[in-house]
Every structure is written in C-alpha cells, then in structure tokens.
A and B are shown apart, each in its own frame.
Chain A
Amino acid sequence: MGDPPPDPEPPSQPPSSRRSSQVSQRRGLELSRPQPAFPEEAEQIPLDTSILQSNRGVLASQANLQGWSLGASPTQQENLTMFQAEEAQLGGVEYPSPNMGFPSELQPQLYLEEGGTQATQNAGLMLQQLQRGQSNLFQQLESAYLETQPDLLGQFNMYQRDDLQFSQHGPYLRDEPTLQFSPSEPGFTPFTLEVPEPEPLELAVQNAKAYLLQTSVSCSLSLYEHLVNLLTKILNQRPEDPLSILESLNRTTQWQWFHPKLDTLRDDPEMQPTYEMADRQKALFLRNGGGEGQQEMEEEVAETAVPNVMETAFYLEQAGVGLSSDESFRIFMALKQLVEQQPIHTCRFWGKILGLSRSYLVAEVSFREGEEEGEEEEAEEMMEGGEGMDAPDEEDEEKDTDIIPKPMWKPPPVIPREESRSGTNKYLYFVCNEPGRPWTRLPHVTPVQIVQARKIKKFFTGFLDAPVVSYPPFPGNEANYLRAQIARISAATHISPLGFYQFGEEEGDEEEEGGAGRDSYEENPDFEGIPVLELVDSMANWVHHAQHILPQGRCTWVNPLQKIEEEEELGEEEEKADEGMEGVEQEVGPPLLTPLSEDAEIMHMSPWTTRLSCSLCPQYSVAVVRSNLWPGAYAYASGKIWCEVRTYSTFHLDATFSSEVLDLGFRFHPIYS
C-alpha cells in the first residue's frame, strides 16, 4: 500500500522462507507445513501459496532438488546463487525486513505483486542483488542473525561454503533446528528468540551429514557430493523408471567425475593408434584413381592376379581353420593393393605367421616376365666387392710382422644360392604386419640359411630387422630367418591332388640334367577331380608339387668341389683341404610330384592327417589334409577346387627338431681338423 517496496539490500531469512515455500510448492504442495519457526513465516505461508500458484509457470523451469529440502528455509544465499544460474528466475522474492513486524506490512505488498508485474519487479530486485555479490549476502545474513542466533552462525557459514559448489542443485535443508520443519517431528516447539539446545535428533542428523561430507584420502569426492550429482542428473534427465537404472547411473556418474570429457579440440590419446590404423585401412577400401568410369571396371574384371581370398576362406572355414571373415576381406584388399603396386604376375595368400609382438601376413608372388628385381643384384655386387678388398690387406700385414702360421682350416665353400624363379627361390615373398601397412619384400634365401634354420628354433618377434640370436649362429636377421622358414614350409607342404599337375612333355633326357629330375610342371587340363572320400582315405591321392630341399640347402644339387677345382691356383694349402672333401656325394631327393604316402614317418606317426570337414553330410563336405610335421599347414580339396594355406605360428615345429639341437650341442664342432 503505502509502503515502499522492500529494500533489496537486507535480505534475510523471511525471504528465504519465501523461497523455501516456493520450493515446497514445487513439490506439489504435498508437505503440509507444520509450525514454521518464525511466526511470520506462518503467516506468510498461506499467502505464499496463493502467490506461488501464480508464479508456478514461471518457476517451472527451475529444477530444484526437492527431496532434500524438508521444507523450511534454504538460505538466501542458495536461492540467490540459484538465480545466478538461471536468470529467468522470477517470482516471489520478497525481502521483508528481518523484523518481526514486517510481515504485516508486506502482506499487502504481496497482494500487490500478484501477477505478471511481479516477475519483472522481482527480476530487477534480483539483479540488483546479484550485482552486489554474495559477500554482501553473507554479511547481511550474518548481521541479521547475529543478534538472534549466534550459535547457529557457525553452522550456517560452513554449509554456505559447501553449497556454493552445488548451488544449482537447489536448496538444501539447513540443519538449523530453529529453521527446521520436519513433518516427522510432531512435537516441534515453536520458535523462540532464544537458541534452544540442539536436540539429539538434530544432532544425529548433523552428524550424519558431516559423515557424508567427509572425503577420503584417495579422492576428493565425498559421498554427499556424489549423491548430489547423481540426484541432480536424475532430476535433469527425468528418465522413465529411475529405480531400475539407478545402479548404472551411479556408476556412470562416478566414472564421469573421474574421467571428464576432454574438449572437442583434443583427441583422446588412448584411441590415437586405433584411429590411425582405421585410417590406413580406409585407404585400402578406396578405389584407386577415383571413379574413372566403366573402363576401369572392365579391365579389372578381365584379369587380375589377385586370388579369390574369400572363396578360400570359405572352404577353410568349413575345415575349421582360418581367420574371421572380415580379416580375410581386409587381407584380400591388401593383396589387391600389393598387386597394384608391384608388377605381379601371380599372387597367392600364403598364410599368416604369428610373432611375439606382431604377426606376419605372407603373400607368395611371382613377377611378370622380364621384371627382374634389380635391388637384389645390386646388393650382391656390393658384397662381392667388399670381400675382394679384405684379402690384400691381410697379406700386407703378414709380410711386415713375423709370419704367423696360417690355420689349416679353410671354410667350406659357399654354396651358391639358387637363381630366381627356380628351386627355393621360385617365388617371391612379401610380408606385412597388418592389412593396411606397406608390404615388404623378403630377400632370396641362400642354402646356408636353410641349413642353419634347420638347426635352430626361435620365435619371431614381428620386426623384420630384429637379430636372430641363437646357437649355432644364424647368418642373417629375422627377415632371412623368416624367408628360410617359409622356404622349408613351402617345400614340405605344397601339395595338390593327384593329377592336377602333370609334367610337361619334355624331350630332354633325365640323366643329362644330373639326376636332378624335372623341375617344372603344368596344369593338367583334363583333370576331373577325385572324389572326396578317396582323397581322405589314401595319401597316395595327394602329391607334392614343390621341390624337396636337399640337405645341402638347395633343390638342385651343386657340387661344391667343382668350384674348388677352379681355385687350385691359389696354393698348396687348399689341396689338403680338398682331400677332406672328396667324398662328397651327390644328394638326391624325391622327385617332383611324389605322392604323400611316400613321406617318411615322424616319431611313429604319419606326417599327414586327413579329415572330412563335415561327417554329417559327406556329399558336400571338403577333404582336409593337415600336416603333423608343420602344424598349421592345411590343404583342402573338393572336386576341382583345391588350395592350401598355412595360418599358424612357428611356435609349433616338428618334434624331432629339439633332438637335433641337443645333438649338435654335444658334438665336437669341427673347426680345427
């Protein structure tokens, strides 16, 4: 009426009570207000409800934590910080003076402020309030309470500080006994100006709250804060049936506290390698050169060296072997990429070798005619040149000083490696660690490497340049060892059904070739396939189509003596060495296309095992042959289709191997004869 609008400066408890009553109103007016602490509030409450109803819509956006507030008076400070967050906070902030007498004066004002104007007025009040900052509030509150509730002040301040953090969570019930309206306390005495002794129940409640607020040494989050976060989240999201998802919400809230989402500019460091790999593999799937139209399609469809990996994978899956289908497809794409990069005539997926840190995917390729690998030859020339340089140096040294008796030992002649496209070097091998990574070519294998590889047994680490530390020492690094193992495995396990390959018609006499046998074969156009059951029954239906590696390390035998005869000019010492080597016999191995039934037994078991892929329906099943010597080498055949692959690890090597190693350890190494 005639009263000036209330001074926004001295906010005090009654306004807070107004706020609280609004909060309670938001709860649906469920809680009946038992005796308020202040008689003024008691008067105001019925007024408030009417006003608040009008303000309901305005305040509906405010999400306050209703469960906590037991009704009476959240602090002014809470209200105001709440308002800070939501500027649209309007309504009902009355600032009657702390005096008791005010309410009567204000009541008419309350009536006046019904309606929409109230909103703006209050907003203005609020903004003024805000500008003054919270510290004013505290002082005001303190001053307001100083006379009346001195001992409650301490609690008040403490709670205020806490509440600063979760101001947006709405008003909490203050534990001041004077302000508490607990519906469960029927016998609550009305407020008096004197501070009553805190009753045991309140004390218990305060203790409980203090306990909830404590933080542990390991983390700075207290249970109280966590529960506040959780309930705020629930109230913000308002999920259906919150009780059933309480547990998962609990967990996610906790997790989120400790794993704050990094901002969108920074990448998650843990996922970085995953994304890089995915990028690389994405390149596999993009078509080369962009869409150039139908021409490219036709060219590709016509002839491509890329094998049908998916078909192979399907049959192998029937046999119970093989990688998962998406990995097979990625390998397919990687092979396609290889074919595009290199001048390749035929290409085959040889298999996968598992290593300690990384695995190897091996592709067996042969280059087109005339596309010789120039790198290999250059490397060899370098080496030979280096050796020539060493010899003259040694001779000079010897002439200067006393003549040291030369050792009698002469290293055995180096057996030359086989030419490309023949024998062990018939195919070229490319390896990569994972589809998407670049393919690396493996060097050709030398006979001495094969011989040494037979004597050692080592794991592959996954890095091609890793040294192979072993006894007897292996000449080369992991790339050479890998190549040697591939050569051995290929020679032992390249098999095909009888009749698929046949010898070409040659006019040359076998004897002229030094008994080496034929080394080439061609596909038999009249091959009609062998019934699956027969393939499984007898090993005679399968033949080797890779040349056997002789103990020398080559497929075709080379007499090392021949080389020595050419070098006789060098001196007398070599003649003595020659005598030791005269007894070299020609090594002969089984000829090409030998059936598997001729293979020697290992430890009383046959070196091959055959199965039908599915015994329940033999008419559609596939014959599977598994090697016991090289576990992991599989071949399948069904009708006219056959293939072989090795997907395994060289952890498995043949059982006789270990005994060989032991043997060599005990034998006297013939260095000095």
Chain B
Amino acid sequence: MGASVRPSFSEGLGGEQGWPKALRGRGPQAVSGILTALGRAGLWSPRRQLLLATWQALSRALVTMDAESLLLSLELASGSGQGLSPDRRASLLTSLLLVKRDYRYDRVLFWGRILGLVADYYIAQGLSEDQLAPRKTLYSLNCMEWSLLPPATEEMMAQTSVVKGRFMGDPSHEYEHTELQKINEGGKVFEEEVVVQIKEETRLVSIIDQIDKAVAIIPRGALFKTPFGPIHVNRTFEGLSLSEAKKLSSYFHFREPVQLKNKTLLEKADLDPSLDFMDSLEHDIPKGSWSIQMERGNALVVLRSLLWPGLTFFHAPRTKNCGYIYVGTGEKNIDLPFML
C-alpha cells in the first residue's frame, strides 16, 4: 500500500488515478471495507483516514435521506412539522450503518415513518449501483432491529386495496375482509362468503410500493443515463437554479417512465436523452396535486404531495441537497379532487 496516495477531490473519472492499486476498480463498499479492516489491524494512518473520508464523501452524492447526511436532511424537511426525536435519530444513524454492512448495500436511505395506532413503523431502503433497480425495503419498530420486507407483487396490491383505515402498528396483525367468492362444486356454482386474512406486513409492503411509484421524486439532472443502460448518480449536479426550482417540470418521478412514450415527437426533440428519461411532474393527474413552497425565504424549496399527504420533498437550490421523506398514516387521499 505504499503507492502514492493522493486523495482526489475531483469528481469524475479521473478520481481513481491516485488510488492505491489494491483499491482501484472497487466499489465504495469494498473500499471502505478494506480501509476499515486496515484500521482495525492497526495499519491506520492519517492518509488512509483521508482516503476513506474522501471515498465516503464521493459516494454520498445524491442525498435522499442518506445515512450520512441524515441530520441535515431531517432539519431541512422539518417544515411539515413531523420529524424524529433525538433518540430515534441517534439510533437510526447507528443502525443504518450496520444494515449497510450486513446486507452489502451501496447506499441505505431512510425512507420515512408510517404512523400506526399502537406503534410506528420506521422504513429504510437499500440501494444497489443501478439507481432505478428495485430497492430492498426494511422496516423496524424501534429503529434498531430491521427486518427485510418481501418485494411487492401485483397480487399483494390487489389484496390490500380493500383494506382501509390506519395501520395498527403490529406487523402480525391481520385484517379480516369478507368477500363473496364463486365456488364450483360439482357443477353447482354458488357464492360463499369467505373471510380473507390480510397481514399487515403485506399491506405495509404494498403501501410503500405505491407511495414510491406515485410520489417519489428527484430533481432533473441528478441522475443520468448511459447508453449501456445503468443509471448513475450525476456527480456534477450542482442543484437547480431558483427559477427552475419553482417549476414542476424540473422534477421527475423516480421510477420507470410511463408517460414518456406518449409524448409527441416535437416534445421529445427538445429533451436530452441522458437527463430526461423519466416522467416529469407536470402531467400528473389531478393537476395541482403537488404544492410547491419556498421556505426560509427562498433558501429551500419544499414540495408536498397532496395525493399521499405526508410526503415531503425538499431541495436547497444551487446546492446538492435534496431528498424526500414520508411521515404519515399511509392512507391515500382519495378526496383530492374535491379538496382542490
């Protein structure tokens, strides 16, 4: 490890030139792992420390309630009135790091909190290199012990769409739902009332998935797409300007595009294929389902979703800070068109 170590603060491909050979070409997980292992072995040196810090800083990139920048993000998102108490914050910081290590995620983000009657669920998501790949969701009741949730499927969505009301807060709670089912028995068709049990965990999974698909947003330019397919964090993203930040068209849904192909060729001609590969918020139905506000006298732009009340997206213009958090009861606001 005697190679000339020059911590490169440059953001870009040239960053790895100064790294020692053993670290080259590895992901941030592995690099941190190697360096911390060295540290534990007593081979710690200020240089290596600097290396580790730089690497972590570089890999931090996009802030979506990232574990490292959790405190700043929570403060910026606090305008909605819901936040985390200090003990939760402290336990989150510790436990998210451990989750990252154990599950070998690229990044772990704190997604939010779903309020239940008896207890609250704290949700975190783990990401891999490809930003748009399906994320792994974890939940916890005390911010310390996290359990992995199964990925959402269509059946789950259909099943849980009948459940209404608040979450209980107990993951093993089962909702009972009676429905009429047609049963074929030897030529006779009759309907029978069947009581279907739906677990709260299933409901949790489908709600989180719905929220992500519907209202998870990201500013334009924060991600870019390469011709080979994977989507990367744009390290040269310096934030939106003030005038751009007030427009809905500068924010995209953080999911596979649905409406993009419906655009006319004229509209598509103006788009930049490496940046504009997701749906923008402009065409959301119903119109006006987002509320944009400037807080702290134009130093922070906050978008709140009216369809899923409790989702807050914040962004400090001209800086890289942005992120979203959901703190709410997990119920969709179906009265939205009447309330506008």
Pair from one complex: yes
In the complex, the answer to whether A247 meets B82 with C-beta atoms within 8 Å is: no
* Bound Cα distance A324, B296 (Å): 11
* Bound Cα distance A251, B238 (Å): 10
* Bound Cα distance A616, B144 (Å): 12
Q: Which residues between 84 and 139 of chain B lie within 8 Å of chain A, taking CB atoms?
A: 84-88, 115, 117-118
Q: Which residues between 315 and 329 of chain A lie within 8 Å of chain B, taking CB atoms?
A: 317-324, 327
In the complex, the answer to whether B339 meets A459 with C-beta atoms within 8 Å is: yes
Q: Is B329 an interface residue (CB 8 A)?
A: yes
**Complex interface bits, B48-69 against A, C-beta within 8 A gives 1, otherwise 0:** 0000000000000000000000
Q: Is B78 an interface residue (CB 8 A)?
A: yes
* Bound Cα distance A262, B33 (Å): 47
Q: Is A357 an interface residue (CB 8 A)?
A: yes
Task: Choose from A322, A354, A470 the contact partner of B83 (Cβ within 8 Å).
Answer: A322
Q: Which residues between 284 and 331 of chain B lie within 8 Å of chain A, taking CB atoms?
A: 288, 291-294, 296-299, 304, 306, 309, 328-329
* Stretch from A36-44, A162-170, A238-246, A533-541 at the B interface: A238-246
In the complex, the answer to whether B14 meets A247 with C-beta atoms within 8 Å is: yes
Chain B residues positioned under 8 Å from A606 (CB to CB): 117
Task: Choose from B9, B11, B86, B329 the contact partner of A652 (Cβ within 8 Å).
Answer: B329
The secondary structure that dominates the B interface is loop
Q: Give the Cβ gap from B114 to chain A, nearest Cβ, in Å.
A: 12
In the complex, the answer to whether A615 meets B142 with C-beta atoms within 8 Å is: yes
Known: A603-B165, A628-B117. A352 touches B8 (CB 8 A): no
Chain B residues positioned under 8 Å from A359 (CB to CB): 79, 293
Chain B residues positioned under 8 Å from A614 (CB to CB): 85, 87
Chain A residues positioned under 8 Å from B296 (CB to CB): 277, 327
Chain A residues positioned under 8 Å from B79 (CB to CB): 323-324, 327, 359
Q: How many residues of A contact B (CB 8 A)?
A: 58
In the complex, the answer to whether A323 meets B241 with C-beta atoms within 8 Å is: no
* Bound Cα distance A320, B81 (Å): 9
Chain B residues positioned under 8 Å from A271 (CB to CB): 242, 298
Q: Give the Cβ gap from A330 to chain B, nearest Cβ, in Å.
A: 9
Chain B residues positioned under 8 Å from A274 (CB to CB): 242, 297-299
Q: Give the Cβ gap from A92 to chain B, nearest Cβ, in Å.
A: 39
User: Nearest residue in B to A241 (C-beta to C-beta)?
Assistant: B6
Task: Choose from A246, A322, A651 the contact partner of B306 (Cβ within 8 Å).
Answer: A651
In the complex, the answer to whether A317 meets B297 with C-beta atoms within 8 Å is: no
* Bound Cα distance A626, B327 (Å): 14
Chain B residues positioned under 8 Å from A64 (CB to CB): none
* Bound Cα distance A317, B83 (Å): 8
Q: Is B161 an interface residue (CB 8 A)?
A: no
Q: Is A424 an interface residue (CB 8 A)?
A: no
Q: Is A648 an interface residue (CB 8 A)?
A: yes
Q: Give the Cβ gap from B276 to chain A, nearest Cβ, in Å.
A: 16
In the complex, the answer to whether A277 meets B297 with C-beta atoms within 8 Å is: yes
In the complex, the answer to whether B11 meets A248 with C-beta atoms within 8 Å is: yes
Q: Which residues between 3 and 17 of chain A lie within 8 Å of chain B, taking CB atoms?
A: none
In the complex, the answer to whether A655 meets B6 with C-beta atoms within 8 Å is: no
14 A-B pairs within 8 Å (CB atoms) are namely A245-B10, A247-B236, A248-B11, A270-B243, A273-B294, A321-B82, A322-B78, A356-B306, A358-B293, A616-B87, A628-B166, A631-B329, A652-B309, A652-B328
4 residue pairs, one from A and one from B, having the closest CB atoms: A277-B297, A647-B81, A274-B298, A651-B309
15 more CB-based (< 8 A) A-B contacts, given A244-B10, A320-B83, A320-B85: A245-B10, A246-B10, A247-B12, A270-B241, A281-B297, A318-B86, A327-B78, A354-B80, A354-B304, A357-B293, A457-B338, A459-B306, A609-B118, A628-B117, A652-B329
